Amino acid sequence: MLGSVNHLVLSLNAIESIPPLQKSDGGTDVSALGGLAHIKSLTLSSNDLRNWADINALAGHCPILETLNITGNPIIEGQFHLYVSFIGCVRTPNVGISEKHSRAIFVAKLPALKSLNGGTASPAQPLPY
């Protein structure tokens, strides 16, 4: 499907989640995002990704991903979200980890990553916003 595409821009698409990789018995990706295995550069800026499960799924879909721009997503912006429950609305931080640790997690989950949000994919480098 996208075999010859190596750079994909999906900014400003209100993407809230990335479905997990689903493989057939033959090992072929049969998920809705099938065909992303050749993507080396991906821009997902200004969406609504907020869970590390989405990054796990991304790693499965894009095993050779070298460049990722995920700025403007709650997972790295540390935005607060409203959670509605039977006791009312509660403001809670999305990610309870530091910027340095979130960069290290991205680098660990995406082993081929060389560039993250316009900077070098190094656990010690702060995330550019």
Supply the DSSP string of the chain, one letter for each residue: --TT--EEE-TTS-----PPP-B-TTS-B-STTTT-TT--EEE--SS----HHHHHHHHHH-TT--EEE-TTSHHHH--EEEEEETTEEEEEES--S-HHHHHHHHHHHSTT--EETTEE--TTSPPP-
> pLDDT-derived band of residue 94, with 50, 70 and 90 as boundaries?
very low
In the chain, domain spans: 7-120
Position with higher pLDDT, 68 vs 88: 68
pLDDT of res. 91: 42
Taking only the tens place, the pLDDT of each residue in 6-44 is 999 999 999 999 998 877 776 666 666 667 889 999 999
pLDDT of res. 121: 83
Q: Is the dihedral of CA 61, 63, 67, 68 positive or negative?
A: positive
Top-level class of domain 7-120: alpha beta
Note the pTM of the prediction, 2 decimals.
Answer: 0.76
Asked if 82 contacts 89 with a C-beta cutoff of 8 angstroms, the reply is: yes
pLDDT of res. 88: 46
Q: How many alpha carbons fall within 13 Å on the CB side of residue 37?
A: 12
